[in-house]
Structure 1
């Protein structure tokens, strides 16, 4: 099976706008897109948990997507470019955000809960990164 959305032609800016609209519709605030050399690399937003603002960061690891596309023989070689990987990475994130919002809408979980691994800690890292780099101490 080829990587999801590998044929997309939709610009990352349009996709980020769709992600932003979805997050706003479900109560997120203070949404910001981060860029590195003109390339969108993450979307950051805030969700309140019992009136406390909690910040989240959703990265688009386009270099990882490009590697996955290059490894997958079903992806045509002409699509294995940095520009295409950027588009694909954001479409994958959009699909994932929409799936998370379906879980929220079905009352399976709360919005803050589904994004919890991406909560930004006081060190500036995501909660997942903190747990991983501290030998899973929080989970033992």
Structure 2
């Protein structure tokens, strides 16, 4: 897959994960969200934002993950390419690069959410459209995307070879 960025977005941020999550919570609270909770990784670092969105059809549970590992991989790749300083690739234990990856990942999520909520505010999309892949089924403990990825949600009739029908 070709990369379309010179350097990863927000790579220089110094804004803490906690501050960014607080900003996310404020954004969501202004947009029909009724419950907000955080899940933490083993290191006590927030890894997922879980919330409920009020819709015309009732509350919908959403599970929005933050994949810090993918940011660490981009850091490694961009250090090899000479786009980022070496400190971004130092990944021994919980260190600066790991913490920076968390800060960057949550800032990217904040930017994405801000853009999506703007589309909602101007009436281009519904909340269900924004969060469809992240809608969470608590019985199966999976998101819509995870259900599709594991074959438990059949979208085969939507897929075609070579593009659209």
TM-score w.r.t. the length of structure 2 is 0.80
Q: Of the candidates 149, 155, 158, which is equivalent to residue 132 of structure 1?
A: 149
> Alignment length, in residue pairs?
140
CA distance in 1, matches of 2:130, 2:141: 19
Structure showing greater radius of gyration is 2
TM-score w.r.t. the length of structure 1 is 0.93
Give the superposed CA RMSD. Answer: 1.5
Structure 2, unaligned runs of 5 or more: 1-5, 90-96, 158-165
**1:49 to partner: Cα distance:** 2.7
**1:133 to partner: Cα distance:** 1.2
Q: Which structure 1 residue ranges, 4+ long, deviate > 3 Å from structure 2?
A: none
SS in 2 for 1:38: coil
Q: Which residue of 1 aligns with 2:113?
A: 97
Relative distance call for 1:66 and 1:139 in structure 2 (3 A) is same
Structure 1, unaligned runs of 5 or more: none
The answer to whether structure 1 residue 60 and structure 2 residue 69 are counterparts is no
CA distance in 2, matches of 1:77, 1:45: 37
CA contact 1:7–1:79 (8 Å) conserved in 2: no
The answer to whether structure 1 residue 117 and structure 2 residue 124 are counterparts is no
